Amino acid sequence: MQLPLKPDQVLKDALDFNRKITHGLMTLREVGDVAVGTAPKEAVYREDKLVLYRYRPSVDKPAKTPLLIVYALVNRPYMTDLQEDRSIIRNLLDHGEDVYLIDWGYPDGADRFLELDDYINRYLHHCVQFICKAHGLRKINLLGICQGGTFSLCYSALHPERVANLVTMVTPVDFHTPNNTLSDWARELDVDQLVDTVGNVPGELLNWSFLSLKPFRLTGQKYADLADIMDDPDKLRNFLRMEKWIFDSPDQAGEAFRQFIKYFYQQNRLVTGGLEIGGRAVSLDQVTVPVLNVYATEDHLVPPESSMALEKHVGTRDYTTIAFPGGHIGIYVSGRSQKEVPPAIASWLQERSR
C-alpha cells in the first residue's frame, strides 16, 4: 500500500529541522539586536509624548508642499521606514517629497483621558500648524495610514483649510462590511467596562486580537519558515525587524480607545452619520480636498471593501484609487510595493501641485 510519507524520511526531516534551529540560533546570536528606522530625520516639534519628525530631503528641490504622515495609534510608525530597502519614506523622499512623520509615543497612566479630540484637533492640528508656519504655507498634504487614515479623514473634514491633498492608505472607512473579523469581534465587547477597569488598554490585548485572526500561520508556520532562512543573516535581520514591529504595541489611551471602538467599530458613524469629535460634527461629505485612496486587495485587517467605501461617501470631486495586490503588511514592505506605491503617491501629489 502506498504511504503518504516514508518513516525514514520523517526521521530525517525531523532531524534536519532540529539542525536548522541549532545552526540558526548561532546565527541569531551573531546578528545581535536590529535597528529600525534608517532614514535620517530630526525631531522638530514635541508635545506631551508626541514627537514630530522631519526627514532630510534627498533631492535638491523637494516639493513645496510638505507631506505629513499620520500613522495609527496601534503599533509603531517605523513600519514606514523599516529598513533601507524597505522604506516608504525613503522612496517618497527619493521622489521629491518633503516628509514629516508623527510619532504618537507610548501612552501611560497620565494619558488615560486623552480623547479622539485631543489626537485630531490638538496633536495633529498642532503638527499641521507647526509645518504650515515653518514653510510659510496655509495648507499641507496628509498621508494617513490605517487608523491614521481615519484620523486624517476626520481632520480633513474638520480643518479643510489646512489640507491641500489627502492620501489614505489601508484605511478603514465602513466598519460594517462583510468579512470584517475585527469589527465582528468588537461588537459585543463592553468597552465601557474595559476602559473603566484597565484605564489604558494594554497593547498585549490588541496583539492577542491580531494574532487570533490567523493563529496557525502567525504563531506556527511563520516560525517554521524562519527555520528555513536562519542561516542567512540578512534574511534573519529582516525577519527580526518585522517581528520587533509586530510585538511593539503601545498601550492605547483609554478614552480615545473607548471612542474609537464605540463610534467606529460598533456604531459605524463615519458612514451612518452622527460622528462628533470635540463637539463638532464630522461627515465625509465635508472632505472636499483631492483624495487618493490606496488599499490592499488581500488585507485581512482592513478588508478592501471597508476602504473602498470611501468613494461612495466622500465629498470630493477629485477622487482616485490604487488597488495594491497584497496584504496589510505587504503594502509597506514588499518589494513590489516599494516600486509601485510611493512613486504613484508622489506622482499623484505632484500632478496636483502644478
Footprint of another protein on 281-300 (CB under 8 A): 285-286, 288, 290, 292, 294, 297
Taking the complex as a whole, the smallest distance from the CB of residue 37 to another protein amounts, in Å, to: 14
The site that binds another protein (CB under 8 A) totals a number of residues, namely 107
Taking the complex as a whole, the smallest distance from the CB of residue 161 to another protein amounts, in Å, to: 4
Helix axes 233-246, 222-229, angle to 10 degrees: 150
Does residue 132 carry a catalytic annotation?
no
Q: Is 199 in the site for another protein (CB under 8 A)?
A: yes
**Neighbouring residues of 33: CB distance < 8 A, sequence distance ≥ 6:** none
CA dist., res. 286 & res. 225, Å (int): 47
Q: Is 335 in the site for another protein (CB under 8 A)?
A: no
Nearer to another protein, 89 or 294 (CB): 294
Segment contacting another protein (CB under 8 A): 15-23, 57-65, 68-76, 141-149? 15-23
- Residue listed under C-alpha cell 509586530: 246
Q: Is 181 in the site for another protein (CB under 8 A)?
A: yes
Long-range (24+ apart) CB contacts under 8 A made by 157-160 are 157/282, 157/283, 157/284, 157/285, 157/286, 157/287, 158/120, 158/121, 158/277, 158/278, 158/280, 158/282, 158/286, 159/125, 159/128, 160/286, 160/287, 160/288, 160/289
Total residue length of the chain: 354
Nearer to another protein, 61 or 138 (CB): 138
Rounded to the nearest 10°, the torsion over CA 259, 263, 266, 157 is: -130
CA dist., res. 255 & res. 302, Å (int): 22
Segment contacting another protein (CB under 8 A): 56-64, 89-97, 140-148, 214-222? 214-222
Nearer to another protein, 59 or 179 (CB): 179
Report which of 171, 46, 39, 35 is spatially closest to residue 103, judged by C-alpha positions: 46
Nearer to another protein, 85 or 185 (CB): 185
Residue selected from 240, 267, 273, 327 as contacting another protein according to rule CB under 8 A: 240
Q: Is 232 in the site for another protein (CB under 8 A)?
A: no
By CB under 8 A, what part of segment 41-70 binds another protein?
none
Three-state secondary-structure class, residue 200: coil
Q: Is 319 in the site for another protein (CB under 8 A)?
A: yes
Taking the complex as a whole, the smallest distance from the CB of residue 315 to another protein amounts, in Å, to: 4
Taking the complex as a whole, the smallest distance from the CB of residue 310 to another protein amounts, in Å, to: 10
Determine which helix (DSSP H) or strand (DSSP E) holds 340, and give its type and residue range: helix 335-351
Q: Is 136 in the site for another protein (CB under 8 A)?
A: no
Q: Is 324 in the site for another protein (CB under 8 A)?
A: yes
Q: Is 143 in the site for another protein (CB under 8 A)?
A: no
Active site (catalytic) residues:
146
